Structure 1
Amino acid sequence: MTTIEMDVQSAWDALENAILPSGYRVEITEGKIIMTPQGECQSDILIEAAPQIKKQLAGQGKVLSDVMIDFPSRLYGYAPDLAVVAPGSERNSRGRFEWHSLEAVIEVLSKSTRDNDFTKKLRMYAECAIPLYVIIDPSDGTCTIHRHPTRRGTYDELEQISFGEDLVLPLEGREIVVRTDGFPRDDC
């Protein structure tokens, strides 16, 4: 495994020797460590989507779930529900992938994460030039696809599809299609 040096301090450094409880999602927002349990509905969607993505990647990239990604910030440390890592990406000296390795991020909303997913994460992912950000909302049965990030912290293109329609992820030089008809609708 080749490693690359990271020039920026990572928000995850604050947790380097911490013992974290299992079954909780840990992220850092505005310098605050936030631990939340994953809901059954979120879990069902991730279990449904991840194998579809992995199979279609066919070794051309990698899909990660709830894995720490180093972002260029001491205040924000995110572990996306699903992250698609570009082919040929290398881990840094901490053994983690960095923001510029990501082709897509998928987050599944819950009541407790709604504000973060639609504001803070959207802004961070756009500022970091992550090409594709998808928010899956089981409470209304939709997937919102954000494309063409700007340095202003927004995306220039937005598309919404309903559960039951195919979720198309246009990646660099290839396209991944995720069937959503098995996604549960629920008020997570």
Structure 2
Amino acid sequence: MTIAPSGKDVAGHAYRTMREFVRSMDDTLPGKFEITKEGIVHDMMSPTGPHELTALRIRKRLEKVMPEELVAHTGTPDVEDLPEGIMRHPDVMVIAEADMEIQGAFDPRTLIAAVEIVSRSNPDNDWVGKMRDYPLVGVPVYVIFDPRTGSGAVMTDIHATPQGPRYATRKDFVYGEPVTIAEWTIPTDNLPRYT
């Protein structure tokens, strides 16, 4: 008698294999690795000055207006949902400091918001892949800043669709306009652009 693994077992094994590969490559190759529903995404370029400066300014602006128990975190670890087989690393994570007191990756459902600064080398990762993955793993607010165009969008209101959970509301903005992330409004002036 042969016992074949169920579809879930095969998917779980594939995810564990991809996770081990990503962890083994972290300090070996430049750039950032993430795991999506489609497989491994490798943004081969390390973040540039405008990307990092945008993340820093957003973090500082959010922390000025949020309660002290919340942080706009820009470091590690990743955000991981084992059942969905997704591991992402938001550029800025709005999260309660108490929810950071864990070992290993953050549970995406503890995030208040995920903020991404679009990569010059792989914009579809932020505009397509993460737009699909973040509602799937329960991130309630997803914000994109795009230094290529000086614009962005705030996605909220997760709802069910035939393709899976998706954001129902999208509010576009241009740099210079105030933007509301969850409950907090910050300015978007003086954010760098890619040249």
Q: What interval of TM-score do these two structures reach, taking the shorter chain for normalisation?
A: 0.7 to 0.9
Partner of 1:185: 193
Partner of 2:65: 56
Counterparts of 2:104 and 2:35 in 1: how far apart (Å)?
18
What amino acid is aligned across from residue 81 of structure 2 in structure 1?
Answer: F
SS at structure 2 position matched to 1:70: strand
- The TM-score with structure 1 as length reference comes to 0.78
What amino acid is aligned across from residue 63 of structure 2 in structure 1?
Answer: K
Structure 2 residue aligned with 1:89, among 86, 89, 99?
Answer: 99
CA RMSD between the two structures = 2.6
Structure 2 residue aligned with 1:76, among 60, 63, 86?
Answer: 86
How many residue pairs align between the two structures? Answer: 175
Structure (1/2) with the larger helix percentage: 2
- Point out where structure 2 has 5 or more consecutive residues left out of the alignment: 1-11
Contact between 1:85 and 1:101, CA under 8 Å: does it hold in 2?
Answer: yes
Deviation at 1:73, TM superposition (A): 5.0
What amino acid is aligned across from residue 32 of structure 1 in structure 2?
Answer: I
- The TM-score with structure 2 as length reference comes to 0.76
CA spacing shift, 1:22–1:64, aligned 2, 3 Å: farther
Deviation at 1:87, TM superposition (A): 5.6
Q: Cα deviation per residue 1:36-55 (whole Å; 9 max; x = unaligned)?
A: 31022211211211111123
Contact between 1:125 and 1:153, CA under 8 Å: does it hold in 2?
Answer: no
SS at structure 1 position matched to 2:45: strand
Counterparts of 1:124 and 1:115 in 2: how far apart (Å)?
12
Structure 2 residue aligned with 1:176, among 157, 161, 184?
Answer: 184
Contact between 1:132 and 1:147, CA under 8 Å: does it hold in 2?
Answer: yes
What amino acid is aligned across from residue 24 of structure 1 in structure 2?
Answer: G
